[in-house]
Structure 1
Amino acid sequence: MNWMNIADQDEKHFLKMVIEYNEKASRQYRMLSTPFYNRDWMEEVLNRYHLLTQLESYTFLGGYEYAERQVLAFGYEETYMECPIRASKITVKTGIGKPLSHRDFLGALLGLGIKRETIGDIIPTDFGAYVIVQEEMSDFIGTYLTGIGRYQKITVEEITFEEMQIESPKTKAVTGTVPSLRVDAIFALAFGVSRSEVVKLLEQERGKVNGMSVRGSQLMKVGDTGTLRGYGKMRLSAINGYTKKERMHLTIEKFI
């Protein structure tokens, strides 16, 4: 690995950690896991530097099937090792009949001095939220999290992943044609905004593909996931053919 060719410090730090943990887990016969990252971002970085095929024994863990934030664990054997992440159920009595937001829970957790990298997905619910955290943070949260904002009537309990009742994400199919697989063209189709507006938002770093900030001129491929802050999330599902003018027929999965 030529580290001089990697300008992004987050990518460099992650790759060095992956190489170190992969080697240690294999040599010392123990399990090691990274902090939480966006799963798409991790895979994009590992594939870009051709590292994924070099790893010996690894698995992504996020607590449930659709987890966005996950850890990368090395040497993890589910049959006899404790999972390095935990699930907490936070019940909040607000008295207002309105669920609290992701921001409410994240703010309360960070207010305890917890680092963001130790927190996985936060899934708001009617009763409060499910929170995925690194193993060592579970007891800490259960002891010291005594309120969410101004709401002090809360309970925190560790539960199994099987006890989490999380619905599959709802999506709808968006179809149309684009002149190319450029990010700005696909985002414009997916989110129903003009390409010029998409370009402005991307320049403000409000759009990402596979967890990475992108330019409008970059290309997407089938399976890529994109987000545009304020507009939502999408996945490029299929290229269904071409028109007579060589425009591509696309199917896009938009999360709702």
Structure 2
Amino acid sequence: MSSIYQHFRPEEKEFIDQVLEWKRESDEMYAPKLTDFLDPREQEIVQSIVGEHGDTAAFFFGGTDRSERKRAYICPGYFTPSEKDFDTVLYEVNYPDKFVSVTHPQVLGSLMGLGLKRGKFGDILTDGKRVQFLAAAEVSHYIELNFNQIGKTKITLSEKDGQEAIVPEEDWKELAATVSSLRLDAILSAFAKQSRHKVQAAIKGGLVKVNWKQQENPAFECKEGDMLSMRGAGRAKLIAVEGKTKKEKWRIILGMVK
């Protein structure tokens, strides 16, 4: 197991240690471990570690088939959890939509303002008008008591059945590009169609995330599968690195969503 770290980035070591501990607890106690909501990269790490060693299995649930953030249920391989075992609550935000609009960042900011960890919330779902979010059941009472305002807008919450979850529609498009290197600033420049200088300023200003984590190093080396986002420019996934051209530039395929 000591070599497991070589398959991941150095900055992921702390989370890997956490996953190994979850697996050990489940193995030794023959009991399930339910995690907070994990981003897709964290889910990938859990699946890689738990799914390849021993008799333990990992299952994931986040409300809809397209959910990004999901809770993991780590348990003995002979057991298959139901949706109820993931202990999630789906809320709809009721607000005067004829007079004000509520955005994803506003909802997230207000939820974080309650003093809870990001891991206690799943995806924030919206169809442009209706807004929903998933929360861990263990904090639902606290949320119902304290979440009554988004910005200056008074809101109320109503609990919804999981079948009523909004399924977000995202239109992904592929883009073939040639970049001078696999540095974050080079790839973002191609994706956002902005100068390297402007992109570097955005990275250093904390406006860029790689695999859902803020990344402030323009020289960060990207790999296939990395999810990139830049505030105001949308999101992109590095789908493939196809090799170098005769001029020593990299041919890449990006999947983009605005």
TM-score range, shorter chain: 0.7 to 0.9
Change (3 A) 1:231 1:79: closer
1:44, CA displacement in angstroms? 5.9
1:20 lines up with 2:21 in the alignment? yes
1:139, CA displacement in angstroms? 4.3
1:191, CA displacement in angstroms? 0.8
The partner residue of 1:159 within 150, 158, 161 is 161
Q: In structure 2, how many angstroms separate the alpha carbons of the residues matched to 1:144 and 1:16?
A: 34
Change (3 A) 1:155 1:122: same
TM-score (normalised: structure 1): 0.78
Which letter does structure 1 place at the counterpart of 2:153?
Answer: Y
Q: In structure 2, how many angstroms separate the alpha carbons of the residues matched to 1:243 and 1:147?
A: 54
Change (3 A) 1:247 1:153: closer
What secondary structure does 1:36 align onto?
A: strand
1:189, CA displacement in angstroms? 0.5
Q: In structure 2, how many angstroms separate the alpha carbons of the residues matched to 1:189 and 1:80?
A: 41
Change (3 A) 1:205 1:44: farther
1:93 lines up with 2:133 in the alignment? no
1:65 lines up with 2:68 in the alignment? no
Is the Cα–Cα contact under 8 Å of residues 182 and 222 in structure 2 kept in the other structure?
Answer: yes
What secondary structure does 1:35 align onto?
A: strand
What secondary structure does 1:57 align onto?
A: strand
Q: In structure 2, how many angstroms separate the alpha carbons of the residues matched to 1:7 and 1:177?
A: 28
CA RMSD of aligned residues (A): 3.3
Which letter does structure 1 place at the counterpart of 2:125?
Answer: I
Residue of structure 2 in register with 1:203 after alignment: 204
Q: CA offsets per residue over residues 196-244 of structure 1, 9 Å max, x none?
A: 3223333334323223426333322222211223322101123456533
Q: CA offsets per residue over residues 70-112 of structure 1, 9 Å max, x none?
A: 333211722486223232222322331x530123323443444
1:182-221 map, 5 Å: 182-212=183-213, 213=215, 215-221=217-223
The partner residue of 2:107 within 101, 105, 112 is 105
Q: CA offsets per residue over residues 118-173 of structure 1, 9 Å max, x none?
A: 1122123444311111122234434554443443353411321x321213312222
Identity of aligned residues (%): 24
1:28, CA displacement in angstroms? 2.7
Q: In structure 2, how many angstroms separate the alpha carbons of the residues matched to 1:217 and 1:240?
A: 20
Q: How many residues align?
A: 248
Q: In structure 1, how many angstroms separate the alpha carbons of the residues matched to 2:69 and 2:161?
A: 19
1:2-13 map, 5 Å: 12=14
Q: In structure 1, how many angstroms separate the alpha carbons of the residues matched to 2:193 and 2:57?
A: 42
Change (3 A) 1:205 1:167: closer
Which letter does structure 2 place at the counterpart of 1:40?
Answer: R
